[in-house]
Amino acid sequence: MKAMLLNGKDVAKSVRESVKHEVEALKKENIYPGLAVVLVGEDPASKVYVRNKGRTCEKLGIFSETITLPKDVSQKELNTIIDKLNHDPKFHGILVQMPLPRQLDASEIIHRIRPEKDVDGFHPENVGRLILDEEGFQPCTPAGIMEILRYYKISLEGKHAVVVGRSNIVGKPMLNMLYQKKKDANATATICHTRTQDMGAITRTADVLIVAAGVPEFVTGDMIKPGAVVIDVGMNRVDDPSTDKGYRLTGDVKFDEASEIASAITPVPGGVGPMTIAMLMVNTVKAAKFQNR
């Protein structure tokens, strides 16, 4: 293991501390940041995420409320709830926990949340603002990755940054953050995906390699340029009878190989994961500020 570990827990902690101070300052101006979290159904992973979001809000002094809905709620009922939250001044941010049950149209929900309260950064207006480098909300996972790079003073300027994966919530916004004409960005940026021919030839040119492929241990050591910085967004359960739980968590990067070649790497868990909720808190405070100026 030669690579430096990029510890997302440390970065997230530092972000949370600065959010906490901001919240205290806002309260002195009688602004009480608030987040509404909508949870539909009983998906165990979703329930854990939602609980963690609520707890983090509490720790940072952010008011939050979880609206729990039965798994068979109709689109119309959910729309009505979104509309109410859109107009409720207690809530500066609205988050609908994904994935949603099959009868619900996630895209319709994303479009329905007012862009000013879209702290997930999924509404097309916020996506557009990101690309145009205008003020708005940026999706939490890629924003968290930018924060990790800043924290560890890893410059992107003029470097080649390669993103593997083209999802709406990670790959696409990540790509568009990397090349922006501004401090802490300015990278040459490439996006690869399932249709890419000779993926290794591309990833081996990356000074910074960000992997959000959704495939366990997809990136092997031979696909990494010596000295590269590797960011692993994956979080996969892989069967492992040798463990108590019968599975282990693994990223999209073959960690043992990669950590011998890279100069720095995020572990899984404890890398990108902890950043997501921290950046949601950043966005919620930003929303409270926007709505009170």
6, 36, 191, 212: which one contacts a second copy (CB under 8 A)?
191
Q: Is 225 in the site for a second copy (CB under 8 A)?
A: no
Nearer to a second copy, 176 or 266 (CB): 176
Question: What is the amino acid identity at position 203?
Answer: T
CB 5 within 8 A of CB 265: yes
* Catalytic, out of 117, 118, 120, 207: 120
28, 158, 244, 245: which one contacts a second copy (CB under 8 A)?
158
16, 92, 166, 225: which one contacts a second copy (CB under 8 A)?
166
Q: Is 123 in the site for a second copy (CB under 8 A)?
A: yes
Angle between helices 171-178 and 124-131 (to 10 degrees): 30
| CB of 125 vs a second copy, minimal distance in Å | 5
C-alpha torsion angle, residues 40, 41, 44, 50 (rounded to 10): 20
Cα 96 from Cα 61, distance rounded (Å):
21
Give the pair of three-digit tokens for residue 18: 């600065």
Q: Is 188 in the site for a second copy (CB under 8 A)?
A: yes
* Catalytic, out of 9, 71, 83, 97: 97
| CB of 96 vs a second copy, minimal distance in Å | 16
Could you tell me how far CA 17 lies from the centroid of its own chain? Answer: 18
Question: Is 53 labeled as catalytic in the residue annotation?
Answer: yes
CA angle 157, 196, 166 (to 5 degrees): 65
x/- mask, a second copy, residues 82-101, rule CB under 8 A, reads --------------------
Could you tell me how far CA 179 lies from the centroid of its own chain? Answer: 18
R_g (Cα) of the chain, nearest Å:
19
Give the pair of three-digit tokens for residue 236: 């996969």
Give which of 94, 101, 152, 127 is closest to 280, Cα–Cα.
94
Q: Is 16 in the site for a second copy (CB under 8 A)?
A: no
CB neighbour list of residue 105: distance below 8 Å, 6 or more residues apart = 75
For a second copy, how many residues bind (rule: CB under 8 A)? 38
Nearer to a second copy, 80 or 168 (CB): 168
| CB of 175 vs a second copy, minimal distance in Å | 8
- Restricting to residues 126-145, name those near a second copy by CB under 8 A: 126-129, 131-132, 134, 136
28, 76, 102, 195: which one contacts a second copy (CB under 8 A)?
195
Cα 101 from Cα 134, distance rounded (Å):
33
Interface residues toward a second copy, by CB under 8 A: 107, 123-129, 131-132, 134, 136, 157-160, 166, 168, 172-173, 175-176, 179-181, 186-193, 195-197, 202, 205
List the catalytic residues. 53, 97, 120
